Structure 1
Amino acid sequence: MVTKSNFLVITIIMLVVLIMFQSTSISEEIALSSGENLSLELGADMDAQLQLREEYDEISGELSSGDAAECRIGLVGSDEPCLRYAREWCVNQKKSYCGYLNLEDAANDSDCPDMLIVDSSLITPESGDALRTLGSRDKTVVISGLPSVSVLESSDAVMDCLGIETVREEEVELDGFKMFASFILGGEVVYDDYAMSLPFVQLDSSVRVFIVGQSDESWFEELENEELPPLLWRNYNYTGSVYVVNADFLEGHIAAGILTGIASDAAAEYVYPVVNAQMSIVNAFPLLADENTEAVYNNYGQGSIAVFRDIIWPTIAAIYYDTDEQMTTICSPKLDYVSYEQTSYETLEYLYQEISKMRGEMGLSGYQVSDIPLEEKLTEDADVFGEQLPNYKIQTFYSGGLELDEYESLFDTGEVLEDIRTVLAPYEEQGSDSFFDYVGSDSVLRLSIYMDSTVHEDEDDFRLCCLQTAYGYYSTMTDLSKVVYPEEPNDLFNIMSEDWAKYYRPYRIRFSYFDKLTATAADARVRSYLAIDYDYFREGDEITIAPVTDSEECYFILRLHGEEITGITGGSYTELETDWYLINITDESAVVTVEQTNKTEYTGG
């Protein structure tokens, strides 16, 4: 039986809850009615952005001081691609580095860093002595590729240091490869459609192999597991280690993931900063004009304005609701600024409210199918927003395949893109040396979009695993301009949306432990990541991570071997996979307590 006093308490509680819900709803309606970009509060203000860039520039300069006694990484060679991407990896993981012209110089340097990354073209028949010297001094040597067969066959010492017994074939054709679990994030994977040609060597039985080749050819079926063509392995070299990458994995941005896997294998515990951000972008949405009418009517029975409003929006809203990703849309008032039938700019306000309700944001695009001057196109787009959403401040720009010099000047004060803080650009595996880039004289940050939401081939999955491991950063895009201007049958929206939803579950969900953010929020995370510095040390069962940052929180990955985390102060942790942990630091430092599990003791490099 409910007494009068209890009834009064229950009534008061219900009223308070009702008022709270009503207040939240009213606040949301007020915010939406203002027409503002609600994501701006997730980004840093201008002064903070400038400060973060200055800190990044300062740290980057300090890391390349060149004093071997104070460096953690030695880069052996000149300006080969493998060393350029290795240098980028050093900067992003805050590892000081120095350079050597050849392996002998490194071996003769008493202050040589503990880890060397070596251009494989420098390995000669005479390199055996230098490799043995480095091994006797506990050094870890990473060789960017297999030395030439002629070098191997003329030097037993080099073969021995690399863990090679014999050269079976100068070149074999492979259909793909298998990567064993725990080398990088993503678990054990087998790629059947990743063709490559490389030398086939037989390794010593004591060598540990991380990646082996796969083939559908009959000769391959006759091989035992230990005879499979090795693509990446570690050999003990006295008390040191030699890692050999028998593929082109270090000649692009995926090198960051491979080097992280190697460095984390070589250390009993390994700590490095990550971004912790996943972006999902929709290009050419909303489209506010009827274009390419005949093709669109043939495919959908109505014009593009209606297709985007009545077919595409409900579908992508459902996908985002299902995946819990945060939406960044790149608005295209028009795609063809010369030939279009009609516009519906007033639709922009309705879609703004719908996108904002889903915690999304809108940006502008440099893409067009016409050929009017870029500044003219963007000015017209900005005028549409000025008329329909005068309070909406756009800070995100999609380059749409344009080269940097085509739009960089438009960021200047007084130009049409002066408010832009984030540039989203298509990914190039062997493009810019920097995966994250500041562009222009201001604090504009360029972020790569390295996945297509509607495609997932073996090469895409390997890239995903490598870049998630290195950066804790993911970016994908669905390009809806193809709906209006299709080039192939798969550009029909029913096929695109099916593939989009289909590929999320088996592939991207593996990395769902990273935060899903809009472009503005991801931009803020990347800026903090670039500007961070840190120290870490271990005493007994406690690992202390001390970041140097002005951010309220920051993120690191901790890789262990045969240990597990039992507690943490100054932050929190999430187990990603066996031996891999995401650390969120919310204090001046975090102290992680670990204990040995009943796994095999660590036997790394």
Structure 2
Amino acid sequence: MLSRRNLVMMLTMFGVVLVLFLSTAVLREYFNDYDVNHAAQEELILPAAGASAAGGQQVVYAGAQDTGLYEPVAEWAEYRKMALHEAMDVQTGLDRAGQYDHQDVLLLLDGDALEQDTRQSAEALTAYVQDGGTVIFCSLPSYETIQSCEALRLLLGIQQLRSPSVEVLEYWLYQGFLLGGDVCYPYDELQPPRNLDIENVLPWYDISAGTKTYMVGYLPAQEQQAMGLNREDLPAVVWRNSLGDGCVFAVNGDFMRGESALGFLDAMVYESRSYALYAVVNAQNLCVTGFPDLTVENEDQMARMYVFNTRQLCRDVLWPSLVAASREGGWKLSAFVSLKQSAGSGKEPEMDDLISYLKYFNEEDAEACLALGRMDDPNLRLSVTQDRQALDAIGLNYAFSGAWLRSENAGQLPGLLQPDGTMEVFPSIRTVVSEPAPGQRVLSWLTGQMTRQSVTMDGYRYTYQDDLRLRSLQTALGYSNVQADIFRVLWLENSEDSWEKVSETLASVIATYWKPFAAFDKTTISESDRRVRLFLNQRVTSQESRLPQGRQISIQVENFAGDAWLMLRTHGETLQTMEGGTWTQIEEDAYLLHLTRENAAVGLQSKLQPHYS
């Protein structure tokens, strides 16, 4: 029988537990300052005067500028604060490169520039390299041109031409070139065809013993055995040939077109120097565009595909899935809120839902941003103005500092800007995210007040090109911007776009492929914006001096503004000490430096120490 005393004790315990649970919820609600954008930066870093001007380093590009090779070279030179000189032919390029010390200039070539005057150009390039110059072939001359010119073959380190066209079974990219370690891209029947977006047919060159190979194509094992091929006989893709005091880098294929070229160029500079030191962004973003959609739209298709309306799907399905995926990979979400996605919708957004989502975001350290306008918006300015009025009607003071712009509406963006470079309707916006477009940089100043951050990865897929681009951008920028497009899920064209399918890919991609790059910070889009501004402004210079037990590298950062993140890559040396900041090892011979003052120094020690018996 239950005594009165025990009953009172039990009721007291139940009461205490109930109060604890209720008080936790009440306190969490009370202290949830959802209307404050904690990721927004109070300090506004503007373009530094002279940040893009020429420093000590020079780049000379010889070749046509409409082949897809010039644009990434120009982008890379801008990031590295190098002066870029153009030339249409090899001899003019050599003349301009010859005006500078060999350690201060890189000569980059489009292989088509050697189709005319091949022998003379090859001999002149050979003399330049033997004297200490560095030459990078962003593409190779034609197979026939290389076959007909011995001087060109010697320059490139090609000892034998086997075939103008060979189909490789797999590519191997060796560790130590791009960040991320060894990687294989196989072309067998087990691979999904949609992933095989790197061309696996290329000319077959045997390279000589004095070369170093970074990427190679493999043939089927039976074919290699039947032909008696050794590893050095396989089709070379990326390699370096040393001649005299200089070197030549060669790329066999289209790997230097597009963003992948950025990492390749930094890797080649690293391979031609005793160390590499350059600025990076150190930001990894996960942008969920068009989420939440605050208007119930596309109801018929939603009912057929999901048995939910837009409101229910966003709240009960998408948000829990996004939280789980981001937590697993350690990501910070940047959610670009869409008040309405269809310009033809007659319904009004559910603004009360926005308050709920802002509270959710605040609890998850996510950032609420704004999706500008509608799909195929006939009047972007009108749509943005209507969104501003809807937000003002509920008295929301949240400062949106990040915005998403759909590609089809990009041409209307100037109509939103004021003469001073701010956005008229939403002056708090400091960075705009958009899909990549021809001629658009990964990172750039959109105006004197705002930056642009391009999407670098579609979170719903992961192909060979995506993997190579990821490794390249991490090597060059320490940056990625992954997009999960909710518009595609809500206005799906086929069953492959359903959340059930794309969410599985998204969770797998962001949890798996960034593991080698865990040293880089996960950020919201506004946190990333500050780092992008620092990166675009800063120029890094360094000097080395010998020490009894190694060497010291003294570092100076121009236009320093509180922080700087640098990439340091060494050849068989470990970082032992640092003054003026902290460091994290990314992988072997690669370090991420965080400078907290404009002058810093690192001490390196060789892994191979002398042994005295």
Read off the aligned partner of 2:540 and give its amino acid letter: Y
Alignment of 1:324-335 (within 5 A): 324-335=330-341
Distance 1:433 1:92 in 2: 14
- Please list the CA deviations of residues 463-499 of structure 1 after superposition, one character each: whole Å capped at 9, or x if unmatched: 1001111111110011112222112223222222222
Residue 62 (str. 1) matches residue 61 (str. 2): no
Distance 2:300 2:221 in 1: 48
| CA positional deviation for 1:433 | 5.4
Distance 2:183 2:423 in 1: 51
TM-score, length-normalised on structure 2?
A: 0.86
Equivalent of 2:113, from 101, 122, 145?
122
Gaps of 5+ in 2: 1-22, 187-195
Distance 2:249 2:394 in 1: 58
- What does residue 10 of structure 1 align with? none
* SS of structure 2 residue aligned to 1:39: coil
Distance 2:388 2:337 in 1: 11
| CA positional deviation for 1:456 | 1.0
Q: Is the 8 A contact 2:373 2:383 kept in 1?
A: no
| CA positional deviation for 1:107 | 4.3
Q: Is the 8 A contact 1:296 1:302 kept in 2?
A: yes
Read off the aligned partner of 1:39 and give its amino acid letter: A
Alignment of 1:52-131 (within 5 A): 53-55=47-49, 58-63=50-55, 70-80=56-66, 81-107=68-94, 109=98, 111=100, 113-114=102-103, 115-123=106-114, 124-131=118-125
Distance 2:224 2:366 in 1: 50
- Please list the CA deviations of residues 130-180 of structure 1 after superposition, one character each: whole Å capped at 9, or x if unmatched: 122112211111111111223212221111111001221112334652100
- What does residue 269 of structure 2 align with? 263
Residue 415 (str. 1) matches residue 421 (str. 2): no
- What does residue 353 of structure 2 align with? 347
Q: Is the 8 A contact 2:54 2:82 kept in 1?
A: no
| CA positional deviation for 1:552 | 1.0
Distance 1:84 1:285 in 2: 33
Percent of residue pairs bearing the same amino acid type: 25
Q: Quickly say closer, same or farther: Cα 1:75–1:112, change in 2 above 3 A.
A: farther
Residue 587 (str. 1) matches residue 591 (str. 2): no
| CA positional deviation for 1:366 | 3.5
Q: Is the 8 A contact 1:43 1:521 kept in 2?
A: no
| CA positional deviation for 1:457 | 1.2
- Please list the CA deviations of residues 339-395 of structure 1 after superposition, one character each: whole Å capped at 9, or x if unmatched: 366642211101101102222222222363465422222222222222335201222
Q: Is the 8 A contact 1:137 1:239 kept in 2?
A: yes
TM-score, length-normalised on structure 1?
A: 0.87
Alignment of 1:15-414 (within 5 A): 29-30=30-31, 32=33, 35-40=35-40, 42=41, 44-45=43-44, 48-49=45-46, 53-55=47-49, 58-63=50-55, 70-80=56-66, 81-107=68-94, 109=98, 111=100, 113-114=102-103, 115-123=106-114, 124-174=118-168, 176-192=170-186, 193=196, 194-214=198-218, 219=223, 222=226, 223-339=229-345, 343-366=349-372, 368-369=374-375, 371-388=377-394, 390-402=396-408, 404-412=410-418
- What does residue 13 of structure 1 align with? none
Alignment of 1:398-547 (within 5 A): 398-402=404-408, 404-412=410-418, 415-428=424-437, 431-432=438-439, 434-440=441-447, 442-540=448-546, 541-547=551-557
Q: Quickly say closer, same or farther: Cα 1:464–1:60, change in 2 above 3 A.
A: same
Q: Quickly say closer, same or farther: Cα 1:574–1:301, change in 2 above 3 A.
A: same
Q: Is the 8 A contact 2:102 2:132 kept in 1?
A: no
* SS of structure 2 residue aligned to 1:346: helix
* SS of structure 2 residue aligned to 1:151: helix
* SS of structure 2 residue aligned to 1:359: coil
| CA positional deviation for 1:333 | 1.6
Distance 2:423 2:87 in 1: 46
Q: Quickly say closer, same or farther: Cα 1:482–1:139, change in 2 above 3 A.
A: same
| CA positional deviation for 1:576 | 0.6
Distance 2:203 2:245 in 1: 27
Q: Is the 8 A contact 2:298 2:491 kept in 1?
A: yes
Read off the aligned partner of 2:180 and give its amino acid letter: G
Q: Is the 8 A contact 1:232 1:244 kept in 2?
A: yes
* SS of structure 1 residue aligned to 2:69: helix
Gaps of 5+ in 1: 1-21, 64-69, 601-605
Q: Is the 8 A contact 1:176 1:195 kept in 2?
A: no
| CA positional deviation for 1:100 | 4.2
Distance 2:219 2:425 in 1: 53
Distance 1:245 1:599 in 2: 35
Q: Quickly say closer, same or farther: Cα 1:391–1:328, change in 2 above 3 A.
A: same
Read off the aligned partner of 1:203 and give its amino acid letter: I
- Please list the CA deviations of residues 218-268 of structure 1 after superposition, one character each: whole Å capped at 9, or x if unmatched: 746654322211111001112211111111122222211100110011111
Q: Is the 8 A contact 1:125 1:151 kept in 2?
A: no
- What does residue 12 of structure 1 align with? none
Q: Is the 8 A contact 1:212 1:232 kept in 2?
A: yes
Distance 2:409 2:87 in 1: 34
Residue 598 (str. 1) matches residue 604 (str. 2): no
Q: Is the 8 A contact 1:456 1:503 kept in 2?
A: yes
Read off the aligned partner of 2:442 and give its amino acid letter: F
| CA positional deviation for 1:75 | 2.5
Distance 2:304 2:71 in 1: 50
| CA positional deviation for 1:321 | 2.3
Q: Is the 8 A contact 2:217 2:235 kept in 1?
A: yes
Distance 2:567 2:473 in 1: 13
Distance 1:406 1:342 in 2: 23
Read off the aligned partner of 1:573 and give its amino acid letter: W
Read off the aligned partner of 1:152 and give its amino acid letter: I
Q: Quickly say closer, same or farther: Cα 1:96–1:336, change in 2 above 3 A.
A: closer
* SS of structure 2 residue aligned to 1:289: coil
* SS of structure 2 residue aligned to 1:59: coil
| CA positional deviation for 1:452 | 1.4
Distance 1:148 1:551 in 2: 48
